[in-house]
Amino acid sequence: MKNLKFFSVIAASAMLISSCSTVPLTGRSQLSLVDDQSLQQEANGAYRAFLNDPSTKVVRSGADAQRVKNVGAKIASAINRYMQANGYGAKYNYQYEFNLVESKDINAWCMPGGKVAVFTGLLPVTRDDTGLATVMGHEIAHAIAQHAAERMSQMTAAQVGGEVVGAAAGGRSEGTQQVIGQLYGVGGQLALLNYSRKQETEADRLGLVFMAMAGYNPDNAVLFWERMASAKQGGGAPPEFLSTHPSDATRIAEIKRHLPEARKYYKK
Which residues share a beta bridge with 29? 22
Of 150, 180, 154, nearest to 48 by C-alpha is: 180
First-to-last alpha carbon distance for the chain, in angstroms, is 66
- Please give the Cα distance from 123 to 95 (Å, whole number): 24
Is the CB of residue 55 less than 8 Å from the CB of residue 188? Answer: yes
Q: Is 181 helix (H, G, I), strand (E, B) or coil?
A: helix
Q: What angle do CA 129, 131, 137 make, to 5 degrees?
A: 95
∠ Cα 115 116 120 (to 5°): 155
Of 42, 97, 102, 139, the catalytic one is: 139
Tell me 28's DSSP state.
-
Give yes or no: 102 in active site.
Answer: no
CA quadruple 125, 128, 130, 133: dihedral positive or negative? positive
Name the residue among 210, 260, 268 with its Cα closest to residue 82.
210
If we measure between CA atoms, which residue out of 187, 259, 168 comes closest to residue 221?
259
Report strand pairing: 20-22 vs 29-31.
antiparallel
Residue among 168, 171, 193 nearest 38 (CA): 171
| Catalytic center residues | 139
